[in-house]
Structure 1
Amino acid sequence: MENMQNILDLNGKVGLVTGAGQGVGRQIALHLGAHNAGGVIVNDFHLERAEAVAAEIEKAGGKAIPLQGDVSDFESVAQMVNVGNQHFGKIDIIVNNAGNSGANPELVERGVPFWESNPESWDPWLDVNLRGVLNCCRATIPGMVERKEGRIITIMSDAGRVGEQGLEVYSAAKAGAAGLMRSIARSLGRYMITANTVAIAATNTPAITARLEDEEVLRKMLSHYVIRRVGEPSDVANMALFLASDASSWITGQTYPVNGGYSFNL
């Protein structure tokens, strides 16, 4: 049989994955590294996490560098992008994965109704989930425009599509990031740059590991899913890899739920 082309081969494209020190981001970085990426820039707020993932990629035969950086700080992002460009010569793929409530989740106000919340408590959610995406796009798009090629992928929560009680600001920030992808898609299509969003639901990451150990909590959680299992980081990474590859070159401005049927999309 004639050899079939691997449509998910990245053909030397260089990717930057934010928040890639664990969970979904880690698996996306590993997926890119395993599919002929020219290099993977592994970002995390905690350098030791990024270093561990970069070492995994290199051990498997890929190329990677770890970079500490705070996505909510544009100067930090710009420096990170500059180092990545110096090391690999370009950045073709940006995966905006960093999320949740930032680097210090223990400091975030929780359990307070939105209408009683302190407006200052909104900042961690907005800074990481919306401003962080703005910063990373702003820093990487100029190089993509110059080369007339690029892939922009943002990982969001299904909370941004359906809303989540008690997570009003988080839901708003994620919805804003998806809106940004649609707007960017319209602006950048002429440069052969695509921008898409992956919306995920409960996924087996360190953020929810403790909750999954409670059988009753797990049972109630899964009752909301058509496919009655928790998602795995690889489920999300598979979609991110597809959107990073040439297999998705005529797809832009879309939001893809990877959620086990938690919610449906038209």
Structure 2
Amino acid sequence: MPKLPQRFSLDGRKALVTGASRGLGVTICDVLSAAGADIVAVARSEADMAETRRIVEGHGRQCLTVVADLSDPTVPDAVAKTVTAAWGGVDIVVNNAGVSFPRPLVEQTVEEWDTVQAINLRAPWLLARAFAPGMIERKRGKIVNISSQASSVALIDHGAYVASKAGLNGLTKVMTAEWAAHNIQANAICPTVVWTPMGERVWSVGNKLEKLLEKIPAGRVATPEDVADTVLYLASDASSMVNGQEIFVDGGYTAL
């Protein structure tokens, strides 16, 4: 059996991370590249990925940046073609990009609903569909979908978001059913609120955070590192028997 550090090493691996220009995405790129992976960073702005590139290259790894608007259904295939031409494919896909338009169900617009489903649910399917054939050919692959505890519990004013994340969990299970025989592991990480600038902006209003913390036995929200370290585990050989799972990084919220 390989020694412990080797089981968690990503040396020689290539990992694609969406939403890689800010918040959780940057931390995921940091952790995976520190573990040895070269990074394909995907986001809507090249300029916004400058810090991600600096961090990845600071670990001595390569960083390929790809500008993409994942709300466009033609873009994931285009991303895959660009990456395959440059690097021959990837070993790890981390579907991290996500959006939400917090609003009561009776006020949510169809345009907002469709945008949330396009980015949070359709894009992960299309990216996985594009990269899975190469993983099948190489008989190895990791797909990590960043879902949410809201995939399993109601969250007021987040109907579109909850629906997208519940769908993402179901999609993850079908990926497992269809691709596990090819040594591809697909799993969903379901965090509670992650304290990124976006999380702080949404949850610092009024007493929203105080009410949330009352439901979390750990007494705190998640840090980006809490989630990124879980991504590393699922991206590494250490998790080779973990497949089709919804892993809650929620301080015990869903245990009550």
One fold, TM greater than 0.5?
Answer: yes
The answer to whether the Cα contact below 8 Å between 2:216 and 2:253 also exists between their aligned partners in 1 is yes
Deviation at 1:159, TM superposition (A): 0.9
Counterpart among 222, 231, 239 of residue 231 in structure 1: 222
Moved more, 131-140 or 77-86: 77-86
Per-residue deviation, residues 203-224 of structure 1 (Å, max 9, x unmatched): 1111122356568443333112
Per-residue deviation, residues 78-118 of structure 1 (Å, max 9, x unmatched): 222222222222211000000123xxxxxx5x53x324544
The answer to whether the Cα contact below 8 Å between 1:122 and 1:169 also exists between their aligned partners in 2 is yes
The answer on 1:254 being equivalent to 2:245 is: yes
The answer on 1:175 being equivalent to 2:174 is: no
RMSD: 1.9
The answer on 1:85 being equivalent to 2:76 is: no
2:178 partner letter: S
The answer to whether the Cα contact below 8 Å between 2:143 and 2:184 also exists between their aligned partners in 1 is yes
Question: Structure 2: how far apart are the matches of 1:142 and 1:264?
Answer: 37
Aligned to 1:190: 181
Deviation at 1:123, TM superposition (A): 0.8
Question: Structure 2: how far apart are the matches of 1:92 and 1:74?
Answer: 22
The answer to whether the Cα contact below 8 Å between 1:73 and 1:135 also exists between their aligned partners in 2 is no
Counterpart among 216, 220, 230 of residue 211 in structure 2: 220
The answer to whether the Cα contact below 8 Å between 1:44 and 1:68 also exists between their aligned partners in 2 is yes
Deviation at 1:186, TM superposition (A): 0.7
2:179 partner letter: L
TM-score by length of 2: 0.92
Question: Structure 2: how far apart are the matches of 1:236 and 1:116?
Answer: 31
Identity level (%): 33
Deviation at 1:175, TM superposition (A): 0.6
Gapped regions of structure 1 (runs ≥ 5): 102-107
Aligned to 1:105: none
Question: Structure 1: how far apart are the matches of 2:150 and 2:83?
Answer: 32
The SS at the match of 2:193 is coil
Distance 1:183 1:211, change over 3 A: closer
The answer on 1:27 being equivalent to 2:64 is: no
The answer to whether the Cα contact below 8 Å between 2:94 and 2:145 also exists between their aligned partners in 1 is yes
Per-residue deviation, residues 94-153 of structure 1 (Å, max 9, x unmatched): 00000123xxxxxx5x53x32454433311111111111111111111111111110011
Question: Structure 2: how far apart are the matches of 1:145 and 1:14?
Answer: 15
The answer to whether the Cα contact below 8 Å between 1:28 and 1:237 also exists between their aligned partners in 2 is yes
Question: Structure 1: how far apart are the matches of 2:81 and 2:248?
Answer: 32
Aligned to 1:17: 17
Aligned to 1:147: 138
Counterpart among 123, 138, 145 of residue 132 in structure 1: 123
TM-score by length of 1: 0.89
The answer on 1:158 being equivalent to 2:149 is: yes
Number of residue pairs matched?
A: 254
The SS at the match of 1:6 is helix
